[in-house]
A and B are shown apart, each in its own frame.
Chain A
Amino acid sequence: MTIRELPDIAKEIIDSAKAGEEIEVALSRGRSTTVNAYRGEVESLKSGSSQGVGVRIIIDGCEGFASAGSLDPEIVLEVVNEARQNLTFAEKDPHQAIATPDGVKPPGLDLFDRSVLEVSEKEKIAIAIDLERRCLDRDKRITGVRASTWADGWAEFALASTAGIAIHEEGGSCSVGVQPLAEESGETQIGYYGDVARRLENLDLQKVVAEAVDGATSLLGATKPASQRVTVIFEPSVAAAFLGVVAGSLTGDRVAKGRSPFAERMGETIAVADLTLFDDPTDERSLGAENYDGEGLATRRNDLIVSGSLNTFLHNSYTARRLGVISTGSAVRGVRSRPGVGMHAMQILPGDRTREELIRNVRNGIFVRGVNGLHSGVNPVSGDFSVGAYGHRIVDGSLGEPFREATIASTVQRMLLDIVEVGGDFEFLPGGTGMSSLVIAEIALSGS
């Protein structure tokens, strides 16, 4: 099969637009490999190629969409026809349209490091096996490793439209992840940690091993805490999960459709003055950095909450038109889906004090290492927040015994106002979020 360049395929589809049609085409092509190690040997070696096409066609505010996992010319043609047919069943939405270029210059980030493609299979296998070995060596209570994984991928992406958008980007990354099992007195705990980077040298294997092993061993002997109201410290990954829920409520689609508790609060104080939350895909340090958003507009920094005050919602071109504002370059999409709205690279403005100082300040509380049930116990429409939590007790300013099988609950709205302090322990998490620990008061801890 002859390999055709993505922009050429896109152009052909755009050129086929009929009178009155707006067309947007997204195309991708990629390949990936995954290596799993188990007990010092390769357990599985996986590799594959993937392709994708997604076509939106709009006529007079009626949109149709179709996609496929193949760039086979016959299937691409089928997708275009299917999108064209689908739009005839949509009802007119006057705000529905393809994004038009807005003149904002992209940040011009060089995000692709070709060296990630040059890691040999041998090297990948060695890293996966080594990770497992290092977990076992780090602590004698580590009795096994459920999975020790290397993965890498490369993909190119093209987006073009009848409105004049035409981009073609290329990216690659590598990642590792490990799940050690710790055992003591008949009890088993599992840990997990991973890292993602644009080049091999930037993977912090030492940290991955340390965090994964500590995650498993530190919970050995954990008990169920007593139900009470406490001050909690969320470690950065947990703080990121919480603020991710907040950010989701600040997106244009939720706001426009009356599904956000903050819809009517623009300009008001919704959080403590210490909290400044923003999305900055132009910050190269973040793995979420991008030159363009999902509609091909330049990314930009957006300050959502500034010193506690609600400053802006995030928009793609559709939600912006609906609410009479301009797109904030916050369209997110995969080739196979229509553009949504969301964060690319969330960040928080860090505070001053170290994690130890934060802990020292809490007389009776908990340090939360992880939460679960975010998808089941948090309702982003009502703001009800209830998640499973595990971590350590804090007694008179120092970390105490581990706890598990507990929930923490409040509402998202209250928690933003109950933030006591933002930590100075800022870090970029593997997903690209720049986050610190958060101290939050008045949380209902449910246990025994």
Chain B
Amino acid sequence: MSEDLAPGPLLDPSLVETTLRVALSKGGEWAELFAEDRQSASSSFDEGRVDSMSSSRDRGVGIRVTVGEITGFAHTSDLSSQGLKEAAEVAASAATSSSRTTAVALNGDGLASTRVKMLPNLVSKESKVALLRRANEAARSAGSAISQVTVGYSEGRRRILVANTAGIFRADDQVRTLFSVNCVATGDQGLQTGRETVGYTVGYELFEENDVEALAERAANRAITKLRARPAPSGELPVVIKNGGGGVLFHEACGHGLEADLVKKGASVFRDRIGQQVASSLVTLIDDGTMGVEWGALSIDDEGAFTQSNTLIENGVLTDYMWDHLRSKDAGRVPSGNGRRQSYQHLPMVRMTNTFVTNGETEPADIIADTTRGVYVAQLGGGQVNTATGDFVFGMTEAYLIENGEITEPLREGNLIGNGPEVLKNIDVIANDFAMGSPGTCGKDGQGVPVGDGQPTLRVSALTVGGTAA
């Protein structure tokens, strides 16, 4: 949308102070104002032509007040002083003890400058359409079996401002750009699909370093390869996961279970396990919101805390959980930069950023050579976990059979199922070829946030493969 953003913070500091004072006026102990202005645009290319271009704009404010264990929250898209005052009063009304006046002094300038080189909304739409067209042609020329190609481009800029009565007054300017290709291949046995996505916390410079044609070819070849796929096996087998193809395994197997809000409510199998061996000693797991341009990177979280690198599991020993404002205050410690929310209409909670397993020492080829019979997963799809039990599933979108130390037949899609704590212990070898995976959206309690994941090639000695073949 229009690019004449006024310099200065999203909201005037004096208006922020006034609003926070109103928020505390009914007895609240702590109040926070979260302002957001989000502009996004997307276009898709389907059936050989530009199918649609869409743009969207959202801006609003969420106000949170806490007193003891109680949180009051109100959100509004009315940014006038009257609109903010009304929202602050509604949020405040959850905390009715005694009326009082509190001084609020903000520290900081509430300003953020974008770190990206090329703001996508300043790039012509013609240029974006040209990218879509090039990817479409590359996918279609990958093979005559390709019957359908959908190419998508999307850009988003999210400017946030967080202020609270402890004096925080910080902003961030988050720009993300994403490109995806979906192919359908038609064969004698029906239809198969292949998908590839590239996305980073960057601007239009995404396309300086990523070749959309190569991306399209990979997606097309994935669909074509699966045309000759046979049903996946059924039952427990060793599973080798390609580098960058399965960080979601850790996101589901233990990441969610290490979120302090779930831990606090007893809804995690990892509660009361700090200092204990919870994984194979090969495993070191980190959640890092500061990771350069990765999809889950942020300067500050949605509560104004600076992101950082948090070691969660070190050589198999559980070292820490992830924390947001409420949960860290409760535990008497500092937050870890993991308080996130989908939008100004949502309450923040503990969320992952970029979650990954660090390198081991083995050569990836040796892992496959050392596997007599198993499954090689080149790309995992989405997953889901029951944090109370640790049981999780995730889909294999590109997988092969391993027979006598070699990758052989492609396999049809299916889910893998496992139990987090058991799988962590069953990781018996980790390679030295770390790579981050595709951009993801993590859903929790109805809120979606961008996350990244990564891992070197590794093997789980036994995982249940949900295929249909004996």
Contacts and interface: CB of A to CB of B under 8 A. Distances in A.
Interface in B363-422: 381-384, 386-389, 391-395, 412-419
A388 B468 contact: no
**10 smallest A-B Cβ distances: which pairs?**
A407-B466, A376-B395, A377-B415, A373-B393, A388-B393, A190-B388, A386-B414, A48-B75, A86-B53, A91-B49
B58 interface: yes
Interface in A325-343: 336, 338
B386 A447 contact: no
B50 A382 contact: no
Majority DSSP secondary structure for residues of B touching A: strand
B265 A144 contact: yes
A372 B384 contact: yes
A1 interface: yes
B466 A387 contact: yes
B413 A86 contact: no
11 contacts: A66-B56, A78-B1, A86-B54, A91-B49, A259-B191, A375-B382, A379-B193, A382-B191, A388-B384, A390-B391, A409-B468
A354 interface: no
Contact of A45 (B53, B62, B72): B72
A48 B76 contact: yes
B384 A373 contact: yes
B118 to A, nearest CB: 19
B395 A46 contact: no
B177 interface: no
Given A45-B73, A69-B57, A381-B193, A407 B413 contact: no
Interface of B: 1-2, 43, 46-47, 49-60, 62, 69-78, 80, 82-83, 87, 90, 93-94, 125-126, 129, 147-148, 184, 186, 190-193, 226, 232, 234-236, 262, 265-267, 269, 345, 347, 381-384, 386-389, 391-395, 412-419, 445, 464-469
Interface residues of A, number: 81
B415 A68 contact: no
Contacts of A183: 266
Centre residue among A50, A377, A448 by max chain B CB count within 10 A:
A377
Contacts of B186: 258
A142 to B, nearest CB: 11
A261 B193 CA distance: 12
A227 B389 CA distance: 21
Nearest to B445: A147
A441 to B, nearest CB: 14
A66 to B, nearest CB: 4
A381 to B, nearest CB: 5
B51 to A, nearest CB: 7
A82 interface: yes
Contact of A78 (B57, B70, B190): B57
Contacts of A189: 388-389
Nearest to A66: B55
Contacts of B62: 48
Centre residue among A83, A258, A375, A446 by max chain B CB count within 10 A:
A446
B265 A41 contact: no
Nearest to A39: B69
A143 B388 CA distance: 13
A75 interface: yes
Interface in A1-59: 1, 38, 41-51
A258 B148 contact: yes
Contacts of A382: 190-193, 226, 412-413
A330 B87 CA distance: 37
Given A66-B55, A69-B59, A78-B1, A446 B417 contact: yes
A383 interface: yes
B263 to A, nearest CB: 11
Contact of A405 (B75, B269, B464): B464
Interface in A319-364: 336, 338
Contact of A448 (B52, B82, B235): B235
Centre residue among B49, B52, B75 by max chain A CB count within 10 A:
B52
Given A144-B265, A406-B464, A409-B234, A65 B393 contact: no
Nearest to B124: A89
Contacts of A64: 52-54
